[in-house]
């Protein structure tokens, strides 16, 4: 054989060896899309799909049809503080969020099913709790992530974004309730602002 043929053959053998050296072993990862404006123009949302990706080379497995969405995340586009003063139910939802968000082993994510179950034990039904979570979402104090699938949308996690605003809103509600009770009990504020 000639030298040119040997060089070509060794190059081909080397390329074949390199291609055989790696076999893709895929593992499913969540791949998030871009934030898009939701039909409710005050919110933005993004979706995640499960995509098999090779951890070694980063190649994605091809799909025959579009992969379905498995997660949906929603956040406020423009922050609008709630016009409502905290009532007992809103205060309890805020306290539970703050308690779970400030616990030593917690991140800024609060598990949705556990939060709703705890509130349900305290006589706050899911629809009332989710109504207050929606107020907090529009205020920009939290973000929410839902599991999307055949069973419908289920709240997976609440992500705390502005705990200071949530705390001050709750404390304002406590002060308002205290003043209402004190006025109804005959207590009032003097000229210097002190409670009599």
Model confidence at 15: pLDDT above 50: no
Reported as a single tens digit per residue, the pLDDT across 132-191 is: 999 999 999 999 999 998 777 899 999 998 888 888 888 877 665 555 555 555 544 444
Q: What is the pTM of this model?
A: 0.72
Please give the average per-residue pLDDT across 13-18, as a whole number. Answer: 43
Strand 109-111, strand 36-37: pairing: unpaired
> Is the model more confident about 170 or about 50?
50
All CATH 1.10.10.10 domain ranges in the chain, comma separated: 79-145+155-196
Q: What pLDDT score does 4 carry? A: 56
Q: What pLDDT score does 8 carry? A: 46
Give CATH for domain 79-145+155-196.
Answer: 1.10.10.10
Reported as a single tens digit per residue, the pLDDT across 101-135 is: 776 666 788 899 999 999 999 888 989 999 999 99
Q: At what angle do helices 88-102 and 163-184 cross, to 10 degrees?
A: 140
Residues whose CB is less than 8 angstroms from the CB of residue 96 and which lie 6 or more positions away in sequence, other chains included: 115, 118, 119, 122
What Cα–Cα distance (Å) separates residue 171 from each residue in 55, 89, 130, 136? Answer: 48, 14, 21, 15
């Amino acid at each position: 054989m000639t030298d040119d043929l040997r060089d070509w053959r060794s190059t081909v053998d080397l390329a074949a060896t390199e291609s055989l050296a790696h076999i893709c072993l895929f593992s499913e990862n969540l791949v998030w899309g871009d934030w898009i404006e939701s039909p409710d123009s005050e919110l933005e949302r993004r979706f995640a799909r499960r995509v098999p990706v090779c951890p070694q080379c980063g190649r994605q497995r091809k799909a025959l049809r579009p992969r379905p969405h498995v997660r949906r995340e929603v956040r406020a586009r423009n922050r609008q503080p709630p016009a409502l003063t905290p009532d007992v139910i809103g205060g309890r939802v805020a306290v539970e969020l703050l308690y779970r968000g400030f616990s030593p082993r917690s991140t800024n994510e609060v598990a949705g099913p556990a939060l709703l179950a705890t509130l349900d034990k305290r006589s706050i039904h899911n629809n009332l709790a989710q109504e207050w979570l929606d107020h907090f979402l529009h205020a920009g104090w939290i973000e929410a992530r839902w599991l999307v699938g055949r069973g419908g949308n289920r709240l997976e996690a609440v992500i705390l974004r502005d705990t200071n605003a949530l705390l001050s809103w709750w404390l304002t509600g406590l002060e308002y309730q205290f003043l209402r009770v004190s006025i109804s009990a005959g207590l009032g504020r003097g000229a210097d602002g002190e409670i009599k």
